[in-house]
Chains A and B, each alone.
Chain A
Amino acid sequence: MDFVSISVNGTELAGPAEPRNLLVEFLRANGLTGTHVGCDTSQCGACNVLVDGKLIKSCTAFAVELQGRSVTTIEGVAVGGALHPIQRAFHDYHGLQCGFCTPGMIIAALALLQENTKPTEDEIRAFLAGSICRCTGYQNIVTAIQAAAEQMESGNV
């Protein structure tokens, strides 16, 4: 058993972890249950997080690999209780149904809009290839991301 310390959402998250424990297991064991386990096989994106700003599936990384790194989970997206524009857009544009994929989708959208502030619809859809939603048909998810991009671009946050 190793002792792991990771900066999660700006706070040190420290605790024991076996070498084989996945990042998603470590996060969830420490109460951050917004990151979900969907497929167990690194396909569905329900466990998306940012590591040093980069999008990864947290079931593809071992917790011990993340020692000293900085992780953003869905719990860290809203700042000071105010929803991030992407969260607000998913909320307002009905970009969710069962909600299980939603945290992963929002993290993916965050990663996309950090690298491309004005994505086209095709770029959004291509970027979401690693994130599965079984309920919405993606229509309102894409609409929400477009709306969030416009809002963030106009600085109307």
Chain B
Amino acid sequence: MTRHEPLDLKKAEISGGVATDRRHDSAHKHVTGEAVYIDDMAEPAGTLHAYLGLSTVAHGIIKSMDLGAVAAAPGVVAVLTHEDVPGTNDISPAGLDDEPIFAPDKVQFLGQPVFAVVAETREQARRACSLARIEYEDLPALIDIAEAGEDARLVTKPLTLQRGSVGPALQAAPRRISGRMRVGGQDHFYLEGQIAFAMPGEDQDVTVHSSTQHPSEVQHMVAHALGAPSHAVTVEVRRMGGGFGGKETQANLFAAVAAIAAKKTGRPVKIRPDRDDDMTATGKRHDFLIDYDVGFDEEGRILGVDFTYSARCGFSADLSGPVTDRALFHCDNTYYYPSVRAISRPLYTNTVSNTAFRGFGGPQGMLGAERIIDEVAFALGRDPLEIRKRNLYGETDRNVTPYHQTVEDSEAARVIEELEISAGYADRRREIAEFNERSPIVKRGIALTPVKFGISFTATHFNQAGALVHVYTDGSIHLNHGGTEMGQGLYVKVAQIVAEEFQVDIEQVKITATTTGKVPNTSATAASSGSDLNGMAAQNAARQIKDRLIDFATGQYEVPKEQIEFLPGRVRVGNQEIPFAELVRQAYMARIQLSAAGFYKTPKIHWNRDKGKGRPFYYFAYGAACSEVSVDTLTGEYVVERTDILHETGRSLNRAIDIGQIEGGFIQGMGWLTTEELVWDDKGRLRTHAPSTYKIPLASDRPKIFNVELADWGENREKTVHRSKAVGEPPFMLAMSVLHALSDAVASVAGHKICPRLDAPATPERVLMAVERLRAEG
């Protein structure tokens, strides 16, 4: 906008307000290729490039390290090892001092950074890395958690959730089944790999452009590594090319190396690993072994459950504590357990340190719940949907979770019921049975699975956010907040909220890059919390300025507050209407402060981890999906014929963005549960380190019919921003419907009397093995 544009003083509504389908804030720049990612930034003269030298054994003592040839290679300016870290050689986000930047004397996984080369070009740095001669003395390595003993080492303190007496409940139950489920991990495969670009400044200063979901943590880690105060380090991120949790802590390493190199050489340093190294050296979704023991009655009512969730955490804690905690928090999904015990085992392994990934342990937790539903259903010869409905949380009783939070907003029953009708579940269940009667080889299956996902960081103190809003004298607005943009549309949602407050067109609001210099001490953009937290903080900042403008107008025009109203593009003051920019200019002349720092903290939440009791979640997000598959029982190959989704995002801030999150989350979840398989060999080498061997869903891998609806009645019962709900993670778990539809199709070969116990990912091989097992047993 410019101040010379004609003003429409009768305008009925602003463009880009709340609850409009506003496009992504950078859509125009993305389609023209103008959007700048870190690797696209113009490089200042003298820019150097760093590359990491990685370990070649899974567990070993470094006997000798000869980097002479590396240092002598063409273009090499510096070689960095742990001895070159000026501060602390540690980037443990948990503060446990268990994650060195460069392995000092011992390596603990294959692919662990041991040194870095800094050279004039990236190619020179990369080639020089291969000249290192390192001798290791091999130590015994634990790769697979199935081989972990009872007393195996844990990377962090485990959690127990307990309600009721599960032992007696299981003993008294008319029916009882125990078993084990294996759930695979997942590589994030953000299209833009890890990258950092550090610019040295004067004194101890350094500015780091980092592709990170957590600029404040990168700031702290870089400061820690440099031995500098946090004020010396500025971290900025305008956008990421995807994050999905993979840039919550995993960006720390690259930022620290770039910053150390920049301070050492006095020149800008950029680091970007190849995709293979990125996949080898950075953490992924945890794979789990879930042991369960469930007691139930002849009606399919669950009476007690005992769960143990063992996770492959890798060599350090990273976020494994909160990830395995969240798995336990979701061991109930939407179901009430009269008595329950759930234990986590965050296991140390000689593999890369696993980390956050969309759902953060929740998806693995829920799979345990859905597996026991399958067990109960097949044992009783009932439709799993009937068992699901029978065990849902109640509204007034049967509504306490394993962590003693009361479910006050149970919407699962309504979501399931509406989807059951709109997807025609009952009719299709009959048709599928008829089809399977006629079809000896291709078998169809259907499943309808719900999702209840807890919203809030379980570490209560992370549930805070800040924002900075400036209004300039031409009426244009500068917006900054602690949230980061990774494609999810956070920037546009927060801008919509600010535009709505001031009643100005969204074009008048400039969305600016997230930087630790403007909003400090932020939390990661994670846990689906971005809009909830930053939206509220930005609204708070806008309201402070608005209140000052109202106070000013009250005095200046001698009208009561009630007669001042922000209308589209203008402000009504008594009987007159003043253009927004004009009122702002008048306020400036009267020396009114037109800038505000906003703040928000989530109310009501508390959590006592030692007792396993509290209210860790402000509210729950709900959804359900119904998927139908057809399986070739001779090969195990399958097709998803149809998926129907009903998801609830409260009063949506932006339906188009929310539906995009649901579609993308579902397909990503489907990849996790079907084709994406991580394979480490017995030496600890990741054999699936590129998309050639690691199968990410393609455009053709989708349900042939795909219907996605938002619940039009949605409204958050808690006072969230415009009563919306978080949407980043919950839809990911809608993909459980595909796994269970496959399970249903497999079960048909044995008359639905045997639980297929299909592990994830349900690759065609696993499906075929399950079919053959059931045919043999049935």
Partner-B contacts on A (CB < 8 A): 28, 32-41, 43-44, 46, 73-75, 77-78, 83, 87-88, 90-92, 94, 96-103, 106, 122, 124-126, 128-129, 131-142
Contact = CB atoms under 8 A, between A and B. Distances in A.
> Which secondary structure dominates where chain A touches chain B?
loop
Interface string B32-62: 1111110110000000000000000000000
B36 A33 contact: yes
Contacts of A122: 700
Given A46-B191, A100-B242, A138-B702, A34 B32 contact: yes
Contact of B700 (A40, A91, A98, A129): A129
A103 B706 CA distance: 25
B23 A135 contact: no
Sort A-B residue pairs by CB-CB distance and give the 4 closest, nearest first.
Answer: A34-B33, A98-B487, A100-B241, A137-B667
Contacts of B667: 137-139
A78 B691 contact: no
Nearest to B689: A41
Nearest to B666: A137
B35 A139 contact: no
Contacts of A98: 190-192, 239-243, 486-487
A16 B668 CA distance: 41
Interface string B697-714: 111101000101000000
A133 to B, nearest CB: 7
Given A99-B241, A135-B660, 10 more contacts: A28-B40, A39-B690, A40-B275, A90-B30, A90-B31, A96-B24, A97-B242, A129-B698, A137-B665, A139-B706
B28 interface: yes
A101 B32 contact: no
B136 interface: no
A88 to B, nearest CB: 8
Interface in B155-197: 188-193
Contacts of A131: 699
Nearest to A128: B699
Contacts of A77: 32
Contacts of B27: 90-91, 94, 96, 99
Contacts of B692: 41, 43
The SS class assigned to the B binding surface is loop
A140 B23 contact: no
Contacts, number: 175
B700 A35 contact: no
Contact of B37 (A36, A134, A141): A36
A101 B33 CA distance: 10
Contact of A101 (B191, B486, B708): B191
Contacts of B691: 39, 41, 43-44, 132
A101 B487 CA distance: 11
B274 A132 contact: no
B28 to A, nearest CB: 6
B491 to A, nearest CB: 12
Contacts of A40: 274-276, 690
B34 A34 contact: yes
Contacts of B660: 94, 97, 135-136, 139-140
B483 to A, nearest CB: 15
B687 to A, nearest CB: 14
B191 A91 contact: no
Contacts of A91: 23, 27-28, 31
Nearest to A81: B32
B348 interface: no
A134 B668 contact: yes
Interface of B: 21, 23-24, 26-37, 39-40, 188-193, 239-244, 274-276, 486-489, 656-657, 660, 663-668, 690-692, 696-700, 702, 706, 708
A75 B656 contact: no
A129 B702 CA distance: 12
A90 to B, nearest CB: 5
A94 B657 contact: yes
Given A134-B190, A137-B667, A124 B699 contact: yes
A97 B191 CA distance: 11
A94 B25 CA distance: 11
Nearest to B243: A98
Contact of A74 (B33, B489, B708): B33
B31 A100 contact: no
B463 to A, nearest CB: 25
Contact of A35 (B33, B188, B487): B33
B205 to A, nearest CB: 27
Given A99-B24, A129-B700, A74 B32 contact: yes
Contacts of B31: 83, 87-88, 90-91, 96, 102-103, 106
B192 A43 contact: no
B490 to A, nearest CB: 11
A132 B702 contact: no
A73 B37 contact: no
Nearest to B708: A139
A99 B699 contact: no
A97 B26 CA distance: 9
- Interface-centre pick from B191, B242, B244 (highest chain A CB count, 10 A): B191
Contact of B487 (A99, A103, A142): A99
A129 B692 CA distance: 12
26 contacts: A32-B33, A36-B37, A36-B241, A37-B39, A38-B192, A40-B276, A41-B276, A43-B692, A91-B31, A94-B660, A96-B24, A98-B190, A98-B192, A98-B240, A99-B241, A106-B31, A132-B191, A132-B691, A132-B696, A132-B698, A134-B188, A134-B242, A136-B663, A137-B664, A137-B668, A139-B660
Contacts of A94: 21, 23-24, 27, 656-657, 660
A23 B193 CA distance: 20
A51 B645 CA distance: 41
A59 B261 CA distance: 28
Contacts of B192: 36, 38, 98, 100
B24 A135 contact: no
A99 B275 CA distance: 18
Contacts of A83: 28, 31-32
Contact of A33 (B40, B188, B488, B657): B40
Most-contacted residue by chain B among A98, A101, A102 (CB, 10 A): A98
A51 to B, nearest CB: 17
Pick from A39, A83, A142 the residue with the most CB of B within 10 Å.
Answer: A39
Contacts of A41: 275-276, 690-692
Contact of B191 (A44, A106, A137): A44
Contacts of A136: 660, 663-664
A73 B30 CA distance: 13
